[in-house]
Copies of this chain bind each other. A is one copy, B any other.
Amino acid sequence: MEKVKELLQLDKEAEETVSRLTIHPHRVGYERSFYNDFGLRGIRVDKVEPGFVSCTFKVPPRLTDKNGNLATGAIANIVDEVGGSAIFVIGVPMKVSVDMSISFLGTAKLGDELEITSKALGERGGYAGTLVHIRNKATGELIAEGRHSLYGNESSKLLFGNQSSKL
């Protein structure tokens, strides 16, 4: 039990580092949260087309795990946020994440530049799927492939046009 506790719980010093973080309260429903900033700060949106988003992101120190690689949780956050942005339509309320599935096929080191693409796959009723690829920009190596499904009451007709599927 001690070993697992050590693995999951933090020591005093570490706790203090995080506790010194002053999280500015954000207005709920407003576009930003500290968590959002923490996970995406530095990301650059390179290209936006209907149902497609491409970004560049350099692995920062704050998102590395104990081995110095981009943390699994940080990858999941990217799949969530960049995936969701591909189905974002002006005036349509954001959908809620309902399913996420990721394969981790490689590792990204501190400072590696990543290319992140997200593609809307299609939708059924208020349910929409997106596909996210995270690659090492220099080598082309696939770091992770994620699929992310969202659900909302309104469908985003603008994005899928004739390709949208019917229930």
From B53, B66, B85, A28 is in contact (CB under 8 Å) with B66
A149 touches B73 (CB 8 A): no
**Oligomeric state, in copies:** 4
- CB closest chain-B residue, reference A34: B62
A74 CA / B74 CA spacing, docked (Å): 9
Contact between chains at A18 and B38 (CB < 8 Å):
yes
- Which of the listed residues A39, A76, A82 has the most CB atoms from chain B within 10 Å of its own CB? A76
Given contact pairs A7-B88, A8-B82, A105-B123, a sample of 15 additional A-B residue pairs in the complex whose CB atoms are under 8 Å apart: A1-B45, A4-B88, A8-B43, A9-B45, A18-B34, A29-B66, A76-B76, A76-B77, A76-B80, A96-B167, A103-B147, A122-B141, A127-B127, A129-B145, A153-B167
A112-152 contact mask (Cβ, 8 Å, vs B): 1 or 0: 00000000011111110101000000011110010101011
Check: A158 CB closer than 8 A to any chain B CB.
no
A166 vs B48: C-alpha distance in the bound complex, in angstroms? 31
Least CB separation from A74: chain B residue: B35
Given the complex, which residues of B lie within 8 Å of A140, measured CB to CB? Answer: 163
How many Å lie between the Cα of A147 and that of B102 in the bound state? Answer: 9
